[in-house]
Amino acid sequence: MEELFRAREILEEITPLWEDCGALCQAACCHADADGQGGVYLFPGEEALLKDCSWGRIERDAFGPMLICLQPCDRAKRPLGCRLFPLTPCPGRKGWTVRMDARARAMCPLSRAGLRGLSPEFLKAARRAVLCIAQTPEGEAFLRKWHALEEEFRRPLW
């Protein structure tokens, strides 16, 4: 749990741009889509931290617990997946790193610019946060599972 707190703290104040990126897209990543789908999967330990949040509800699916936002969140309590977005953890040559999340293409205008369009400080902080999570066997297993799920969105449809 210490690793989760450290990872969340690393990304507490830093964002993908020098200003609120949600202003570009009306915080599209914070809203369900037209079918009511959407949310963020919770990292190990986050379900307990967010079980009583007033701005969302936790649902479970085959992957695990997911927070569905019902109204604007308390930014200080937002999940690690939200803090990382539009990035996603991925294995690199020297351990874990980050890349643009394939799911971001559908909603995030920042995804078009790729990693170069993001604040360098945000990229460094995101990598550090992911490395914190990878320090425990549970965290490493979760990152592998998260990565496998995100890889599904990179596969060609036909």
Query: What pLDDT, on the 0 to 100 scale, is given for residue 87?
Result: 93
Which residues form the domain of 113?
Answer: 2-152
Residue 158 in any domain: the answer is no
Q: Rounded to whole angstroms, how far apart are CA atoms 117 and 111?
A: 8
What are the phi and psi torsion angles at 89 (to 5°)?
A: -65, 145
Residue 34 in any domain: the answer is yes
Query: What pLDDT, on the 0 to 100 scale, is given for residue 155?
Result: 84
Residue 72 in any domain: the answer is yes
Which two structure tokens, joined as six digits, stand for 81?
């997946």
Alpha carbon of residue 152 to chain centroid = 16
Q: Give me the number of domains the chain comprises.
A: 1
Query: What pLDDT, on the 0 to 100 scale, is given for residue 129?
Result: 98
Predicted TM-score (pTM) of the model is: 0.88
- φ/ψ region of 111 (left if φ > 0, alpha if ψ in -120 to 50, else beta) reads alpha
Query: What pLDDT, on the 0 to 100 scale, is given for residue 117?
Result: 84
Residue 157 in any domain: the answer is no
Q: Rounded to whole angstroms, how far apart are CA atoms 52 and 117?
A: 35
- Split at pLDDT 50, 70, 90, the class of 24 is low
pLDDT tens digit sequence for 72-125: 888 889 999 999 989 999 999 989 999 999 887 777 677 787 888 889 999 999
Q: Check pLDDT > 70 for residue 33.
A: no
